[in-house]
């Protein structure tokens, strides 16, 4: 065949390689999780999605989390809720800001507010995506963490833009249902309250809502679980049919041990039981995780101990992290990923992510440190 070019084969190969380098991303694809190490997105920027949760929709995973900035303002919301998308759970593409904070000082999500632990669900009835989060106002009347509101926003697409609907205290004027009463739910009237009586204090104005998560139970009921009563008790609230409100059916966490002072709730379901992993309440400093099991979301919950295994420092600090979510592997009833944050309050943007596989030991979920690990042997992450 006639030679079309006078270029030497070597020069042509160099040119081809240079062209290929321009066309393909310079960031090498990740093939494993590396807990606690800086985790870059597919453009090579550090993933900024703290206190996050994952929505699995249509073969894609969407990771929502708090966008944090560097320095002292870093734990206030200067940007909003960041979202990333992935098919394989290792490699995440930045899909921008799903819910933006507002520049309007009258907005409850005014820039500078505290907007934490965002989670999103897909509502099949309305075909909308619904996000809930913990909100603290950026105003002097309710400084710090005293507002303790639950915020909600909706979107037509998983990545947003999410439209802020409202932020409120919860179930004002509605007493909880008795824990563990299954189908025979009994409305309590403050009778079982322990001292201090925060439940009664907030009865009229609505219950506090701080660290929170959403959970789509296998029976089709979705839940909001949040730390309430000055973090003394977790509350379990049923979400209504469109997921943007509540049903007046809710209960208070009841466990045989450690029923007080739980934060950072993360839930999952396996083999007929619900599992709950929480932390204690030590702010940004890590503390020992707690694990509970119940046959019903209404409780009562049985304490299963600290799920962490390892040396004392790891067990006592949950591997220097605090839970945020448990991701169930689609297509499997047995595989779960524990997701946690390694907070860096002095420079919040540098907070790291600790994702570990949940192992099982005598029917109890267990976490062991892994320097790196893969989903080898798991069902295909995109569920296909």
Q: Which residues bind ligand GAL (CB under 6 A)?
A: 51, 116-117, 211, 263-264, 281, 283-284, 322
Radius of gyration for the chain, computed over Cα atoms and rounded to the nearest angstrom: 22
Query: Least distance (Å) from ligand GAL to the CB of residue 262?
Result: 10
- Residue ranges of alpha helices (H) inside the chain are 9-23, 198-201, 312-317
Nearer to ligand GAL, 51 or 206 (CB): 51
Residue 150: CB atoms within 10 A of its CB come to 24
Residue 23: CB atoms within 10 A of its CB come to 7
Query: Least distance (Å) from ligand GAL to the CB of residue 153?
Result: 18
Answer whether 330's CB lies under 8 Å from 378's CB: no
Query: Least distance (Å) from ligand GAL to the CB of residue 216?
Result: 21
Nearer to ligand GAL, 123 or 324 (CB): 324
Nearer to ligand GAL, 286 or 381 (CB): 286
Query: Least distance (Å) from ligand GAL to the CB of residue 277?
Result: 13
Nearer to ligand GAL, 111 or 117 (CB): 117
CA dist., res. 28 & res. 26, Å (int): 6
Across 283-316, b (16+ Cβ under 10 Å) vs e yields eeebbbbbbbbbebbbbbbeebebbbeeeeebbb
Q: What share of the chain is helix, strand, coil (3-state, %, to 5)?
A: 5, 40, 55
CA dist., res. 81 & res. 30, Å (int): 24
Nearer to ligand GAL, 178 or 264 (CB): 264
Residues paired with 233 in a beta bridge? 228
Query: Least distance (Å) from ligand GAL to the CB of residue 282?
Result: 7
Residue 48: CB atoms within 10 A of its CB come to 20
Answer whether 156's CB lies under 8 Å from 235's CB: no
Query: Least distance (Å) from ligand GAL to the CB of residue 115?
Result: 11
Query: Least distance (Å) from ligand GAL to the CB of residue 317?
Result: 13
Please tell me whether residue 23 adopts helix, strand or coil conformation.
helix
Nearer to ligand GAL, 105 or 283 (CB): 283
Nearer to ligand GAL, 156 or 346 (CB): 346
Residue closest to ligand GAL (Cβ)? 283
């Amino acid at each position: 065949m006639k030679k079309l070019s006078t270029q030497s084969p070597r020069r042509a190969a160099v040119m081809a390689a240079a062209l290929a380098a321009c066309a393909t991303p310079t960031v090498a694809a990740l093939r494993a999780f590396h807990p606690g190490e800086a985790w870059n997105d597919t453009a090579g920027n550090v993933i900024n999605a703290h206190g996050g949760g994952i929505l699995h929709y249509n073969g894609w995973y969407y990771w929502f989390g708090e966008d944090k900035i560097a320095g002292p303002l870093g734990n206030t919301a200067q940007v909003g809720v960041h979202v990333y998308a992935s098919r394989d759970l290792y490699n995440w593409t930045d899909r921008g800001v799903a819910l933006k904070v507002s520049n309007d000082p009258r907005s409850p999500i005014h820039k500078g507010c505290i907007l934490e632990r965002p989670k999103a669900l897909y509502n099949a009835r309305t075909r909308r995506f619904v996000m809930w989060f913990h909100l603290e106002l950026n105003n002097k009347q309710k400084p710090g963490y005293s507002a303790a509101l639950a915020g909600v926003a909706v979107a037509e697409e998983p990545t947003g833009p999410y439209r802020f609907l409202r932020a409120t205290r919860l179930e004002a004027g509605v007493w909880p249902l008795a824990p563990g009463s299954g189908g025979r739910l009994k409305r309590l009237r403050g009778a079982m309250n322990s001292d201090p009586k925060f439940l009664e204090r907030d009865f009229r104005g609505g219950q506090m809502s701080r660290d929170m998560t959403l959970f789509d139970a296998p029976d089709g009921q979705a839940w909001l679980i949040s730390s309430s009563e000055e973090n003394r008790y977790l509350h379990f609230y049923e979400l209504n049919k469109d997921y943007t409100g509540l049903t007046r059916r809710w209960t208070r966490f009841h466990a045989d041990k450690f029923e007080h002072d739980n934060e950072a709730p993360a839930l999952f379901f396996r083999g007929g039981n619900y599992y709950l992993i929480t932390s204690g309440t030590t702010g940004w400093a890590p503390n020992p995780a707690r694990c509970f099991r119940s046959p019903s979301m209404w409780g009562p919950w049985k304490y299963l101990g600290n799920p962490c295994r390892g040396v004392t420092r790891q067990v006592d600090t949950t591997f220097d992290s605090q839970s945020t979510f448990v991701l169930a592997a689609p297509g499997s009833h047995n595989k779960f990923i524990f997701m946690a944050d390694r907070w860096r309050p002095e420079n919040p943007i540098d907070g790291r992510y600790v994702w570990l596989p949940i192992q099982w030991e005598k029917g109890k979920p267990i976490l062991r440190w892994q320097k790196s690990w893969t989903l080898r042997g798991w069902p295909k992450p995109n569920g296909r």
